[in-house]
Amino acid sequence: MNQSDYLELIGRYLSGDISEADREVLMRWVEADSANRAVLEEAEKLWSVTASYDMPDFSAGKPAAWDLLEERLQKQPAADEGKVIGLPVLKSYLKYAAAAVILLIGGYWGYWYSGLVDHSPVYATVQTGEGEKQTLSLPDGSTVVLNENSALRYAEAFKDREVRLTGEAFFEVVKQNGATFTIFSEGAQTTVLGTSFNVRAYPNEPKVTVSVATGKVEVASVDREEEKVILVPGKSGQYDKMLEKVREAPVSNAIAWKENRLQFDNQPLGQVASAIERYFGKKVVLANEQLAKCRFMGDFPNPKLQELLDAMAFTMELEISEENGQIVIRGNGKNCQ
């Protein structure tokens, strides 16, 4: 369906002449995008305004009907105008409302819709593909580096300083007179004033991870406000999508994707395995729990997976192999603790 089809459904919905099947189609369209919802809400406002006026005879055609409605609106006493106080630019808004009713009845959808769009927020979306990174500047001067297979969506006006992230990005947020900056990502809400941090929120991963480089960051559940943590530089937090819980959690090499570097400073093998998974997109399995406590040191600029695994196997006396698309690490944990 194109836009005019949905606008026709809105007209039927407002007039009460809509089937249950068409109503379900319309509601799915409304829920799919906030801009679609804004169009419906605007139409409902216009419809409610004109409902308080007696409609003229439309048999003479659209021009005559417009003249009658305009004359009627001009004759309305101040008391009647009070019925619609709260809508912006009262006089002109009533004109638009009258025009909208005529357009609804006459089927002039394109003209009606173009008037509504002016009142709806315009969104910008930036998306990256496989192996692609992109740096962008937001309207407030903040900078975002998007990792591969990620998308960032925000209102071009950017009055509320809110963005929606799918995937992974590193943010450098500028301070702006105490105004907060908020990232919504997979059920998590990250709020800052001005700082730099990384957010990882891929749809296929069970957790959203936030790691702070500078400043202070609040991570919370969108639906459960009591679930939140405050993170300071060097700290990371995770939001569990299934449990809707937030907790502080150590994360190794959170921005390795941005710097093309993996650094391990005597870190537990469990964290090393997680870093390898994030950077190379390969599942890493430890054959026994003792291995998770082993510690590894190493610095790998522009790391190659096999070189890293070879270094781990040699220095920690491990057996590392790839099986069924997974990296399996075996060894005696006592030898490397």
Last residue of a domain, one of 117, 132, 162: 117
Range of the domain at 290: 256-335
| 133 token code pair | 């990174």
Give yes or no: residues 97 and 131 share one domain: no
Q: Tens digit of pLDDT for each residue in 43-55?
A: 777 666 555 545 4
Q: Which residues of 294-309 are buried (b: 16+ CB within 10 A; e: fewer)?
A: bebebebeebeeeebb
Residues 314 and 262 in one domain: yes
Give the tokens for residue 315: 């220095």
Dihedral sign (CA 111, 113, 116, 121): negative
Are 244 and 266 in a shared domain?
no
Say how many domains are in the chain. 3
User: What CATH number does residue 155 fall under?
Assistant: 2.60.120.1440
Q: Are residues 141 and 214 in the same domain?
A: yes
In sequence order, what are the beta bridge partners of 182? 162, 191
pLDDT at residue 225, rounded to an integer: 79
Closest-CA residue to 199 (of 147, 272, 149, 135): 147
Residues 211, 104: one domain?
Answer: no
The answer to whether 170 touches 197, Cβ cutoff 8 Å, is yes
Let me know whether 18 and 107 are in one domain.
Answer: yes
Q: Following DSSP, what letter does each residue of 184-233 receive, concatenated? A: EETTEEEEESS-EEEEEE-TTSSEEEEEEEES-EEEEESS-TT-EEEE-T
**CA–CA dist 219, 238 (Å, integer):** 8
Question: What pLDDT score was predicted for residue 75?
Answer: 52
Q: What is the pLDDT of residue 105?
A: 44
Neighbour-count burial of 52, counting CB atoms closer than 10 A to its CB (0-12 exposed, 13-18 middle, 19+ buried): exposed
Helix (H) or strand (E) holding 154: strand 151-155
pLDDT at 135: 97
| Predicted model pTM | 0.63
Residues 267, 234 share a domain: no
Q: Are residues 130 and 112 in the same domain?
A: no
Measured CA to CA, the distance from residue 321 to residue 88 in angstroms comes to 67
**pLDDT for the residue 192:** 95
Looking at residue 152, what is its pLDDT?
96
206, 222, 248 - which closes a domain:
248
Averaged over successive runs of 10 residues, the pLDDT of the chain (337 residues) comes to: 67 74 82 77 68 48 48 48 40 46 46 50 91 95 96 93 96 94 95 94 94 95 89 95 93 93 92 93 91 91 95 92 92 75
Q: Supply the CATH number for residue 269's domain.
A: 3.55.50.30
Q: What is the pLDDT of residue 211?
A: 96
Would you call 138 helix, strand, or coil by DSSP?
Answer: coil
Same domain for 80 and 139, yes or no, is no
Domain co-membership, 88 together with 205: no
Q: Do 183 and 69 share a structural domain?
A: no
Last residue of a domain, one of 248, 265, 297: 248
Same domain for 205 and 264, yes or no, is: no
Q: Are 192 and 216 in contact (CB under 8 A)?
A: yes
Q: Which two tokens stand for residue 72?
A: 């009627």
Per residue in 167-211, pLDDT (tens digit) is 999 999 999 988 999 999 999 999 998 899 999 999 999 999 999
